[in-house]
């Protein structure tokens, strides 16, 4: 079996977990959480980081802290995981779906302006599969209209756009440490920002909005959330983060090998390399051309029979019951790419021989 993306624990994860168990600090008030936040923010190049139970909660907090309220509109791609859009809906705000680019599979900034209206409050770019959104254009438009930007960088840890880490370009950015990501904490997320107010409010709301300055114990000025990462999860994260550079190099050699063995192969389209992006593919994404002899479904079956796990791209959210009624622009590229996209195995532990086996199937050898 060649899995799509599985975790690898090879660093000091157990050492840090033992520190938690020995000290009794297992929940979110423990010291490893702050240590993980400090190391993560330094690594990524942000002023502040707030560790959360998962990325979905980080996105929810980020939108709350930039001021998204009921009935506001947030522009977001339809080609993403449901969590991105659910975070908008938790606030009673409305997602407005924008199309993606044919080459990056990410938000098409040139289709943003036509969707901006009176109720628009924010833009949520998603760096899909590790590829980067054209953030310079997005920020230009956001600044022109006074909008806030929350980057969903759940899948793009390590990727850089024009020298800047994804997640650090907008007003806030959110990462996922789910088991299948570049680094994992089991379950976990991180909100990063350079804005002190966003960071302190996110921390406050993530800890049940407990007023630490109030003389009486357990005094709450707002409805808060139990969104703070636990010390044990942070301990795993510390071990994983120490290993991040090696992991990035492995991810890059995985995509290099796919490019090497798949360039020129009929009926598939490889992701476009952009000189100004330093891309760390979380999963290696290809498109299987429409009308090809082996279409995506028959390739999936072939992979499955050979014990190789692949994953089709996301089904566009605007086609599913909870999101079908929301406003959107033309989503031609979204529907096209979603129909043809297939992610190839990309675990840190994958062997070169396994990548070559995957490529041989695509080359029909």
Question: DSSP letter at 325?
Answer: T
Q: Give me the least distance between CB of 12 and ligand PLP, in Å please.
A: 22
Nearer to ligand PLP, 120 or 178 (CB): 178
d(CA 145, CA 284): 35
Nearer to ligand PLP, 20 or 126 (CB): 126
Helices (H) and strands (E) in the chain, counts: 11, 14
Contact 67, 86 (CB under 8 A): no
In the complex, minimum distance from the CB of residue 154 to ligand PLP, in angstroms, rounded to a whole number: 3
Whose Cβ is closer to ligand PLP: residue 154's or residue 248's?
154
Give the whole-angstrom CA distance, residue 154 versus residue 135: 16
CA torsion, points 352, 252, 126, 116, in degrees to nearest 10? -130
Give the residue with the Cβ less far from ligand PLP, 233 or 362. 233
> Is 154 in contact with 162 (CB distance < 8 Å)?
no
Interacting residues with ligand PLP (CB under 6 A)? 54-56, 80-81, 83-84, 126, 152, 154-155, 176, 178, 189
CB of 279 to ligand PLP, least distance (A): 16
Expressed in percent and rounded to 5, the helix, strand and coil fractions of the chain are 40, 20, 45
Distance in Å, CB of 167 to ligand PLP, minimum: 12
Contact 84, 59 (CB under 8 A): yes
Which candidate, 80, 118, 121, places its Cα nearest to that of 97? 80
Reduced to 3 states (helix: H, G, I; strand: E, B; else coil), residue 247 is helix
203 vs 269: CA distance, rounded Å:
43
CB of 178 to ligand PLP, least distance (A): 4
Alpha-carbon gap, residue 95 to 325, rounded angstroms: 10
181 counts as catalytic = yes
Q: Which is nearer to ligand PLP, 154 or 355 (CB)?
A: 154
Minimum Å gap between C-beta 202 and ligand PLP is 15
Residue 64's nearest CA partner among 227, 228, 226, 198 is 198
User: Which H or E run contains 340?
Assistant: helix 332-340
Q: Cβ neighbours of residue 328 under 8 Å, at least 6 residues apart?
A: 78, 96, 97, 98, 115, 318
**Residue of 169, 165, 185 lying closest to 177 (CA atoms):** 185
Residue with smaller CB distance to ligand PLP, 62 or 362: 62
Catalytic residue among 41, 148, 160, 181: 181
Pick the closer one to ligand PLP by CB: 58 or 308: 58
**3-class SS of residue 101:** coil
Name the minimum Å distance from CB 349 to ligand PLP. Answer: 19
Which amino acids are annotated catalytic?
Answer: 181
């Amino acid at each position: 079996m060649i899995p799509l993306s599985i975790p690898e624990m090879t660093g000091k994860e157990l050492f840090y977990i033992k520190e938690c168990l020995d000290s009794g600090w297992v929940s979110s008030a423990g010291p490893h959480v702050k240590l993980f936040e400090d190391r993560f923010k330094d690594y990524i190049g942000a002023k502040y980081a707030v560790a959360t139970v998962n990325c979905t909660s980080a996105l929810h907090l980020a939108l709350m802290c930039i001021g998204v309220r009921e009935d506001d509109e947030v522009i977001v791609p339809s080609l993403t995981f449901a969590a991105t859009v659910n975070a908008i809906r938790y606030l009673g705000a409305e997602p407005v779906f924008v199309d993606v680019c044919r080459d990056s599979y990410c938000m098409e900034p040139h289709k943003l302006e036509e969707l901006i209206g009176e109720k628009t409050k924010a833009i949520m770019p998603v760096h899909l599969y590790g590829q980067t959104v054209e953030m310079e254009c997005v920020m230009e438009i956001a600044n022109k209209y006074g909008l806030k930007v929350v980057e969903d960088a759940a899948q793009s840890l390590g990727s850089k756009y024009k020298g800047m880490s994804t997640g650090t370009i907008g007003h806030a950015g959110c990462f996922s440490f789910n088991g299948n990501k570049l680094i994992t904490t089991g379950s976990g997320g991180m909100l990063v920002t350079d804005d002190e107010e966003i960071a302190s409010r996110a921390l406050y709301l993530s800890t049940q909005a407990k007023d630490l300055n109030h003389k009486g114990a357990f005094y709450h000025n707002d409805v808060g959330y139990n969104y703070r990462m636990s010390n044990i999860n942070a301990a795993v994260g510390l071990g994983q983060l120490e290993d991040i550079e090696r992991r990035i190099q492995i991810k890059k050699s995985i995509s290099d090998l796919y490019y090497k063995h798949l360039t020129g192969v009929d009926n598939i389209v490889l992701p476009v390399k952009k000189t100004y992006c330093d891309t760390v593919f979380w999963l290696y994404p290809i498109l299987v051309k429409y009308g090809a002899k082996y279409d995506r479904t028959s390739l999936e079956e072939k992979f499955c029979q050979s014990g190789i796990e692949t994953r089709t791209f996301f089904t566009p959210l605007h086609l599913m019951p909870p999101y079908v009624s929301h406003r959107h622009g033309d989503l031609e590229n979204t529907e096209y790419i979603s129909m043809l996209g297939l992610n190839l195995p990309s675990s840190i532990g994958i062997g070169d021989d396994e990548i070559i086996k995957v490529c041989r199937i695509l080359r029909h050898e």
